Amino acid sequence: MAGRSQEIVPAEDSTETTVIQQENQLQIQGGKTSGDGQNLFHSFQEFGLQIGQTANFMSQPEIRNIFGRVTGGQPSFIDGQLRVTGSHANLFLMNPSGIVFGRNATLDLSGSFAATTATGIGFDRGTFHAFGNNNYTNLVSEPRGFYLDPNSSGNLVSLGDLNVRSGQSLLLAAGTIAIAGNLRAPEGKVTVAAIAGKPFVRLSQSGYLLNLEIENTAFNSLPIDLKPLDLPELLTGNPIGHATAIALNAAGEPTLIGSGLTILPGNGAIGDLPQIEAGEVSLFSSQSLKIEGARLQSTGDLNLHAGGILTIRAGTAGFGAIAGNDLTLRGDRAIDILAFESLPGSAATFQANGDITLLSDGLVSGDAHFDTGGNFAIAQLNGDAANFLSIYDPIITSEGSVSFGDYQGASLKVEARGSISGGNITIDRPDLSLSDSDDPDVEILRSRPSLILRSGVANLENPVNVPPLQMQEGTVFTAVPGLNQNISVGTIATAGGPVILDSPGQIIFDSISSGGGAIDLSAGDTIVATGTIDSAGGSIAIVTGNFLRVNNSFSAPNGIEASISSADNNGGGGEIFIRHAGSTTTPFIVGDSSTNGTTAAITTGSQTLSPQFAIPVPPEIYNQGNLTIETTADRPSEPNVQPSEPSEPSAQPSEPSAQPSEPSEPSEPISSPTIEPIPREPESPSPGVNSTNGEAVSPPEPPNNREPPNNPEPPNNPEPPTLTPAIDEFPDNSEREPTPTPAQPIQPPEIAPQPPVITDNGGAISNEQPPNSGDRGGEAIAPDLPASPIVTPEPTQVRLPDPAIANVLTQIGNSVNLSDFSASENRDRGPLPQDNSFTLKTVSSQEIGRLIDEGDLPQATLFLDVFFSEELGGYLNREVTRELNSFSAVQQRISKIPREIGTQPAIIYTFSREDRLDLILVPPSGFPIHKAIRSADSASLEKIVNQFRNKITDPKSLHLTRYLQDSQQLYDWIVRPLENDLNRLGIETLVFSMDEGLRSIPLAALHDGDRFLVEKYGVALVPSINLTDTRYHNLKNASVLAMGASYFEELIPLPGVPLEVANLQKIWSGKVFLNNEFTPNNLQQQREIGKFAIVHLATHVAFNPGQPEQSFIQFWDAKLAIERIRQFGWNDPPVNLLVLSACETALGDRKAELGFAGLAVQAGVKSALGSLWYVSDRGTLALMTEFYAQLRRNPIKVDALRKAQVAAIRGELRIENNHLIADRGNFEIDLPPELQHGTDPDLSHPYYWSAFTLVGSPW
């Protein structure tokens, strides 16, 4: 019983565990090993250590994991050392009755450590149960997760100093957790998870052995009659001392002493100044997470997540959360932070080299200082901006951009190197907590209710200062040129304090009312107020580098209908100063806010400018008492008020204009877009040339210099700049500025004539430079010349050369035996063995590159298709049929499609070389189009692809858009260079044939800054055109054979499968077979007796590293290698579509990706629909339901998938309150209890829809 001294007592069971004690050394021997000899299992009746004792688990070198369970029903009190001798094995300790680590507890391990109160540890082929018998032979490989009994989850307390070695992981998982000691895993990961009520915790493989994903999965555990001690009993009844930071209150409830926060069952609690340090830190509670006075440090990400309320207090000595990368604070119900006292030596309580994100669907209270080297955001779980308040002291400093919803509370200061966007801001009190701060604005913030927003700050007052120990290697802080640096907020109101907004870009807001405080607005570009500006007696200073527009009016205290007023209630008012850049071409007009001016009057109380009044120029300074308006530099044209969308690349020089352009009509500002484009670095303008309008200008004055210039001279007429022809250039991470319209005529430069290249373009002769004529990174290899000097002759019938494959193949045959290449890793393969009928000299990557460089695009295209065909054939060790022996044959494969189904397709080949990425676009007719992207060298491309896949599949980020920057970069490399051609040709469907390393990109999720690729095009993946049957067969009257299994002996259950196939049966006619009817024999039998054009298999399918036989499809009674599924004879009768709804691909492994890309070829079907990664049960159920509903309405596979994915993006396909809504509301169904858990998934995140990929024929 609790309170007595414990010892280690082996259980009398089949593990044959023995304990040999020599004084304070307890050697643990024996145990059972798994079938692969890598896992060692022990059982203990009791397990406890006193001060000075060491439990030494004896091991062998081949042992990778040691598992110990405690079966006696008593908690473990450990106040000594845990050690492993003889191997570098990881150690797992499981006691459902509870675990307490005393103040003297330590670890001496070479591997990772996990302590849990779970009732089972899951493996691929079984479970290590905490009670009863186990089949240890089957428990092979790494553990997959922990099973916890929701009704009797034990508790865990850690008071000691638990450290693992560099690169290892430390995991504590229990129903309720209290941490009052230190946890360290340098270069590794620390995970603390209080997971009451969560049946299954998955150990995912994302870089760390012990990486948790929480999910609800049915678990048929053995009956357990267990009542573990609650937390108060563990704290008071243990034999190893008490936690000084945790005590029982008068009601007998455990509380954190410093703050009085109560630790309820299911909570995670951290107190007494513990230090938690690791490469990555993740603290999770399925209910509430409470942290007091801790120092949390990571060299990578730091995540705090509460399913209920996340509460953070500074405690008596301060608080610090310091992340070397991203810092995420998530409280699903609320976030409550009162921690403005930072730890000694720290400038802010929350610091991150990456992004800082606060996520909650409830109230966010943030009294703290935040410093981030990336972006700062306060958002709801669906990504929309969230509201927050602060009673005492909010200061936000960001090297990137800042976004939030409405704010109310004390004085607020936000400084960002990027943009600032927010909702309505109400400042109702000064910041009285600032005392010893060295912030230069401290007097402003603490003396009056003040608002300070500064964007585009080159030198931040409070830059992020993560200690060097916490910096990730290679981290460098630099300003990003071209970053969106606008300020965009709603209504601003202060209770008598100043409003200071500074931006080198635009400032956009609704209205400002300062209650007597000064208003100071300074922008390098346009300032737009959709409402009014009212200081109620305070001074107003507005300086804009472009125009000012104030679009509404109100009744000022002096009775004047005004847009801008500084009038007070006593007949007076503050000074008003306005500086704008309209010059003589765009005067400032009081009474006209369409371009530059106000809707109504401007009044200071004593002075008024009434409509309609255009400020006269010259002079440059107009003064009327305490009202001054200054007109500065000539700005003949104005950029759009909103951040500009990425411009269409142009292949021709801009047409010069003979007249100055009229000012553009402003578009309405958007206060908080759902997804805004990731800013890209623009091309650097020439010195002395304004990047907005191309004029030669002098450097601008600093924004804060409000003094009018002495004796201003009118600007001289500048020399017209030289106009450079626009080219298709896509530099790394860049966005081209819109082509300016010059203010006066400019002669285009002379361009040396180039010989036209005759292309088959519908019989006409088009002019293209030779493909190798320009060799700059990312530009079009064949840019169009200006149209004006070209005289087009009468249409001439021109036939493309038909480059036969005979240039490479001698004695062409219909098929090639590729068996000798199954084990080859060399892309440039040697010659194939001689066949009886022909001799083959294979295609090499060097040959393809040479043809591209020489401009022989038809031949290069053909060889590339052959090259990809050979790769798949070599992987499959199978004869590959070759039917296409010329470029024309390749092109003809898709040329019939527009006539048959009315859609215009194109093939896009990607070919990755060390110094570039080659794109070849094959339209239904005409010459192939080539682009070389030099910024996408193989190393850079691989890095971005891996980052994109990791971010989009990260289960911790399903509420974020962290993937967006990489998604847009890949779009810029793979799609944007071809965008003009795709639009010109009217292309609607993109068929990608990808090079190795690129085949597992979720192409549908590439983003152009405004929309996903799938919102614009249908998308399909093929291994090669040669291996694809592109003929169209109508599926309107097709029957479906649906089979699947919801639970398995060795693999995790799929509880959504029964409803998935039931929904399918409601939409389509056919047959359904589940669980024990889902066998290879039954599949074969049903195929023989029925003509099913669609086969749907809802089961585990894995594309694994290595040879094809390592990849499998799981039936009820057998695991069948994917390469063997051709045995079902899919061509007799023919199967038009095979759907595998629960695929999982070893992303990053090139053979696994090749296997996925060749799925249709392996199966012997026209088309296959599979997923690159396993999507959740609810996500798969939703997407499959929508897909079949769309396919029933429009029986073209690629269109049906596209519409299903777009429905998810737009929220038409969704789950609300455990209720599935699909097919535009025409299909609704309640989820069964086994799928009702947690919050509703946000199906608009690409994690849920972009994994599903159509492989093979899109039609």
Q: How many residues does the chain have?
A: 1259
More confident residue, 809 or 977: 977
How far is it, in rounded angstroms, from Cα 913 to Cα 864? 13
Region 195-205 average pLDDT: 57
How far is it, in rounded angstroms, from Cα 1041 to Cα 608? 80
How far is it, in rounded angstroms, from Cα 175 to Cα 605? 66
Q: How many CB atoms lie within 10 A of CB 850?
A: 13
How far is it, in rounded angstroms, from Cα 98 to Cα 110? 25
More confident residue, 1257 or 189: 189
How far is it, in rounded angstroms, from Cα 835 to Cα 626? 96
Give the pair of three-digit tokens for residue 794: 């009468």
- Amino acid present at 109: L
Residue 885: band (very low, low, confident or very high) from pLDDT cuts 50, 70, 90: low
Region 779-797 average pLDDT: 29
Give the pair of three-digit tokens for residue 658: 């003979």
Per-residue confidence (pLDDT) for residue 882, from 0 to 100 = 59
Region 426-445 average pLDDT: 80
Per-residue confidence (pLDDT) for residue 880, from 0 to 100 = 61
Q: Are strands 880-881 and 815-816 parallel, antiparallel or unpaired?
A: antiparallel
More confident residue, 472 or 374: 374
User: What one-character-per-residue DSSP string does 152-217 give?
Assistant: S--EEEE-SEEE--TT-EEEEEESEEEE-SEEEEEEEEEEEEE-TT--EEEEE-SSSSSEEEEE--
The pLDDT of residue 731 is above 50: no
> How many degrees, rounded to 5, is the angle at CA 507 between CA 502 and CA 508?
145
Region 831-841 average pLDDT: 30
Region 521-531 average pLDDT: 94
More confident residue, 237 or 1183: 1183
Give the pair of three-digit tokens for residue 1242: 């946000």
Per-residue confidence (pLDDT) for residue 482, from 0 to 100 = 53
How far is it, in rounded angstroms, from Cα 973 to Cα 931? 10
DSSP 760: -
Q: Kindly report which listed range (471-475, 982-986, 1182-1186) carries the lowest average pLDDT score.
A: 471-475
Q: Which residue has the tokens 């921690």?
A: 339
Over the chain, what is the mean pLDDT? Answer: 75
Per-residue confidence (pLDDT) for residue 459, from 0 to 100 = 74
Name the nearest CA neighbour of 772 among 1006, 1003, 931: 931
Residue 183: band (very low, low, confident or very high) from pLDDT cuts 50, 70, 90: very high
The pLDDT of residue 171 is above 70: yes
Ranges of beta strands (E only) in 254-293 are 254-256, 268-270, 275-285, 289-292
3-state percent breakdown (helix, strand, coil) of the chain, nearest 5: 15, 30, 55
Per-residue confidence (pLDDT) for residue 765, from 0 to 100 = 24
- Amino acid present at 1156: F
Q: How far is Cα of residue 226 from the mean position of the Cα atoms in its chain?
A: 42
Q: Kindly report which listed range (147-151, 167-171, 507-511) carries the lowest average pLDDT score.
A: 147-151
Residue 152: band (very low, low, confident or very high) from pLDDT cuts 50, 70, 90: low
The pLDDT of residue 1115 is above 80: yes
Per-residue confidence (pLDDT) for residue 742, from 0 to 100 = 31
Per-residue confidence (pLDDT) for residue 52, from 0 to 100 = 93
CB 321 within 8 A of CB 349: yes
Per-residue confidence (pLDDT) for residue 1175, from 0 to 100 = 77
User: What one-character-per-residue DSSP string does 526-576 give?
Assistant: -EEESS-EE-TTS-EEEEESS-EEE---EE-TTS-EEEEE-B-TTS-B--E
The pLDDT of residue 664 is above 50: no
The pLDDT of residue 735 is above 70: no
Q: Kindly report which listed range (2-6, 75-79, 242-246, 794-798) carries the lowest average pLDDT score.
A: 794-798
Looking at the DSSP bridge assignments, the partners of residue 357 are 328, 377
Domains of the chain, start order: 421-463+481-633 (no CATH), 845-1022 (3.30.420), 1040-1256 (3.40.50.360)
Give the pair of three-digit tokens for residue 409: 């509370």
The pLDDT of residue 477 is above 50: no
How far is it, in rounded angstroms, from Cα 994 to Cα 784? 26
Q: In terms of pTM, does the model score above 0.75?
A: no
CA 852 vs CA 809, 885, 990: distances in Å = 19, 18, 21
CB 1218 within 8 A of CB 1240: yes
More confident residue, 617 or 374: 374
Ranges of beta strands (E only) in 1115-1190 are 1119-1121, 1137-1145, 1167-1171
Q: How far is Cα of residue 398 from the mean position of the Cα atoms in its chain?
A: 20
CB 788 within 8 A of CB 795: no
Residue 219: band (very low, low, confident or very high) from pLDDT cuts 50, 70, 90: very low
Region 1134-1138 average pLDDT: 83
Region 325-330 average pLDDT: 94
Per-residue confidence (pLDDT) for residue 600, from 0 to 100 = 96
More confident residue, 837 or 485: 485
